Structure 1
Amino acid sequence: MTKSELFERIDADESKLTAIARELWETPELGLHEEESAATLVEALEDGGFDVETGVAGMPTAFVAEYGDGDPRIGILGEYDALPGLSQSVSADRDPVEADGPGHGCGHNLFGTAGVGAALALADAVDAGEVSGTVVFFGCPAEETLVGKTYMARAGAFDDLDAALTWHPGDLSTPRMGSSNALNSLTFTFEGVSAHAGGAPDSGRSALDAVELMNTGVEYMREHVSDDARMHYSIPDGGSAPNVVPAESTVWYYVRAPTREEVERNTDWLRDIAEAAAMMTQTEVSERFLTGCYDYRANGVVSELIWENIDTAGPVPYDDADREFAAELQATVPDERIESRLDELPEDLRDEVEGEALYAEPVAPYDHDRQTHGSTEVGDVSWITPTGQFNAATWPVGTPGHSWQVVAANGDFGLKGVAFAAKVLAGATYDLLADAERLAAAREEFEEEIGSDAYETPLPEDAEPPFDVTMG
């Protein structure tokens, strides 16, 4: 099976892949609870002859599927969790299918499906004798809470890979070369003493006061961390009625920075502030570490192969009706949000993209020096094995992720991005399986920049997947 035949195999499966992506879109499930979505993808892989292990790393919806034998072992990462509160029909008006229900506002219905499509096509290439080695698809749950890959990494799921590839829906089709922020996600729960806030406040010790003092301390901390560091918090439990001194209160923090080292330093400072707040309020504080992840490091060799295949496979075949609906969705996005997105682009690329609602053409890598302030647990994989990832244009230019407009796009014209992304993943994996020199070069770059012993899990030994947490 040649590369062109590999792409033809994916084209032949396009209707099946589209149906799977549509099924996931119609049954959105939150992280660590993606039972139907994971089962649908597992069934497709088992039907294709893959050996599948489920329940990886103590997560029922995490799985690893393998086809082939021996080295090299190339991994394809897939995700399939949805976001809370983003239920949306295929409409240019805000129209939830289910009030307050979940929706695929990050396109993971497309994400996991494209990876499965690539894996199935590659199995045929292995059978045909065109390439040798093992294709491994990783079903990674709970990306939105940055849980799945980090816990899978702690369990050693990625340790024997020679390289890994992944993608993400977006508004341009291009490799991702820039770095991301490392992160820790943790909660602090304060325990005080309940009392009548009007009749006997002196008898109480307010856990909410402790949370508020902690947050105030963090506000003063911000001046003394790097410009790229971030601390965000929410109060999931602040007490009940105003006339009852809260005996318990919880604050949830994300700590982000460009490196794991800075995240750890800032987290230690955060812990000091929590202890000080407890001391000031005569309460007790306990910590729950939910998850943590590394910064992403793009492997140049793998990313170049991805670009070559984006250029070959593109553009995504959108038609006039797709562009018309994309324009209707884009019109609901604030102009300043679109302008902010365009400002991120090099001038020549901005000139091409500006005024387009749907930009389907391949875009050469441009963000090599960019430090994004978001986080992804693909970063952990990139510290374990040479890793590359890319975006594919499946929603309107300038539309923010985690929005109802993205949900609408991913249930309509965005479905055409599945076959495109599958081709890029399959093509780059095919190249790595077939070209020992390119694979060796990827490993050499990885060893020079990171080293095989650099990764240490950010998770404490007693940390368990947070099944009760639905959004990060």
Structure 2
Amino acid sequence: MGKKQLVEWLDENKKTYEDQALQIWEHPEVAYTEAFASKLQISVLQEAGFSVVSGVGSVPTAFVAEYGSGKPIIGILGEFDALPGLSQKVSPVRDAVTPNGPGHGCGHNLLGTAGVEAVIALKQRIDEERLPGTIRYYGCPAEEVLSGKTFMARAGVFDDLDAALTWHPGNSNTPWNMPSSALTSVEFFFKGRAAHAGAAPHLGRSALDAVELTNIGANYLREHVVDGSRIHYTITNGGVAPNVVPDKASVWYYLRGANRAHVDELLERLIKIAQGGALMTETGVTWEIKAGAYDLNVNNTLNELLFSQKDEAGPLVFTEEDHKLAASLAASLDPSLQQYAEKRRHELGLAESDLLPTSFVNYQPTTKITGGGSTDVGDVSWITPIGQITTTCAPFGVQVHTWQATAAFGSPIGLKGMHHAAKLLALSTYDLLTDGGNLLSQARAEFLRSTQGKPYIPAIPNDVQAPVLV
């Protein structure tokens, strides 16, 4: 009976949370600047009766909201940061709200709001049924730079969780059964000596030469890394003018690998390469670790739990207008993205006409996946069992981090997928609170098998603090 009432409450109150998601979509804020979104969610949760601790991990926009008492303690993770350069109206043609401005191209306006919606719905059941246990909503900033949850984890806020759940806006309804890559973000700063490049080049020591030699060394390293490793870089400072030997230069690297140990080894080798670049040019070098995310430790028990709620959640229904917008957005995609979408469609067993999938597919990779993206959800997954699922919030083929995604995530398509995700999160958490600990025991046993006793050690050094930008 409780789950039926849970769904009814969510349906009755969905407009409230749709409005909140749109407010965040209309006020996009990039990593560590999410003052509007954080304040809005804190206000909503406090008004609902949750206690809130803000500034978690010395991150001004990070917070934890809690309701209930005792065990089990179940956390729902939310995010709310936007991406630079992806401002976009709800339109099938490129049309920025603010030229070059930020936009919610990863749907975090939906991701966080669904979590808020779910925990407030669960509060009603805790009160009416006098359920034991504690529910938490984690307001997690800066996922797009892969470090918000790491600073929160370093502060210990996930340590006492029995389990965590989250989701992500996508273009299909499927558990997140694929691991992500571990990652380290590191920037190298070289210091040399300026000189006139024409009249006295012999007096200069080029920091830019050190950057370029470092990049050459990194490119030769590529042959000698574990399969699935990735090395990306961009020069962040290359000097000010061609006729001045640059006394300062910098380069920013992302290192990815199948697990934390692989990435840590990559970092050790890259530091030696940078030191070599400095040695060859008689310059100095320092470096800063900007982020360090773990690979995602998939928990099939919790993923299956989220998937199992599909019938009780009710149907996901899109209108004719939704399908028209979806078709227009899909038609705007580059042919290479359309080809990739067809490959993915075949993997999921979806029909060619299924532009807005409403069915649920429990996709299981048949081969070991290497490479790919990263997320700081991975850090949490090495602290406590975590389940994750995607729901249809954009047309099939539309990838996150695109203007088409921003348009979809501000449209009724995205809002419907968000509301469905809130149901899956709430129903699954209700089961974890009421089944006598069986599911939690299974999830914990799987977690212990997969982590093999390896402790979680934050990959960001203790002396590195999150930037304070608000």
Q: Specify if TM > 0.5.
A: yes
The 2-side partners of 1:309 and 1:40 are apart by 29
Q: Is the 8 A contact 2:60 2:468 kept in 1?
A: no
Query: 1:371: Cα distance to partner?
Result: 4.0
> Residue in 2 aligned with 1:450?
451
Residue 366 (1) aligns with residue 364 (2): yes
Q: Secondary structure at the match of 1:138?
A: strand
- Correspondences of 1:309-458 after superposition (within 5 Å): 309-313=309-313, 315-347=315-347, 349-350=348-349, 352-367=350-365, 369-371=368-370, 373-412=372-411, 413-435=413-435, 436-451=437-452, 454-458=455-459
> Residue in 2 aligned with 1:281?
281
What amino acid is the match of 2:387?
A: G
Q: Is the 8 A contact 1:315 1:362 kept in 2?
A: no
Q: Secondary structure at the match of 1:128?
A: helix
- Correspondences of 1:50-69 after superposition (within 5 Å): 50-69=50-69
> Residue in 1 aligned with 2:146?
146
Query: 1:353: Cα distance to partner?
Result: 3.6
What amino acid is the match of 1:455?
A: Y
Q: Secondary structure at the match of 1:465?
A: coil
The 1-side partners of 2:448 and 2:321 are apart by 48
**Matched-pair identity in %:** 48
Gaps of 5+ in 2: none
What amino acid is the match of 2:393?
A: T
Q: Secondary structure at the match of 2:249?
A: strand
Q: Is the 8 A contact 1:51 1:65 kept in 2?
A: yes
What amino acid is the match of 1:99?
A: P
Query: 1:372: Cα distance to partner?
Result: 5.1
Residue 250 (1) aligns with residue 250 (2): yes
TM-score w.r.t. the length of structure 1 is 0.96
Query: 1:467: Cα distance to partner?
Result: 4.5
Query: 1:235: Cα distance to partner?
Result: 1.1
> Residue in 2 aligned with 1:190?
190
Q: Secondary structure at the match of 1:139?
A: strand
Q: Is the 8 A contact 1:338 1:397 kept in 2?
A: no
Residue 295 (1) aligns with residue 295 (2): yes
- Correspondences of 1:47-86 after superposition (within 5 Å): 47-86=47-86
Query: 1:2: Cα distance to partner?
Result: 1.0
> Residue in 2 aligned with 1:465?
466
Decide whether aligned partners of structure 1 residues 229 and 70 sit closer, same or farther in structure 2, where only a CA change above 3 A counts.
Answer: same
> Residue in 2 aligned with 1:212?
212
Q: Secondary structure at the match of 2:310?
A: helix
The alignment of Structure 1 onto Structure 2 pairs a total of residues equal to: 467
Residue 111 (1) aligns with residue 111 (2): yes
Larger deviation: 236-245 or 74-83?
Answer: 236-245
Query: 1:63: Cα distance to partner?
Result: 0.1
Q: Secondary structure at the match of 2:312?
A: helix
TM-score w.r.t. the length of structure 2 is 0.96
Q: Is the 8 A contact 1:38 1:61 kept in 2?
A: yes
Query: 1:314: Cα distance to partner?
Result: 5.1
Query: 1:448: Cα distance to partner?
Result: 2.1
Query: 1:277: Cα distance to partner?
Result: 0.2
Q: Is the 8 A contact 1:192 1:282 kept in 2?
A: yes
What amino acid is the match of 1:277?
A: G
What amino acid is the match of 1:406?
A: A
Query: 1:419: Cα distance to partner?
Result: 1.1
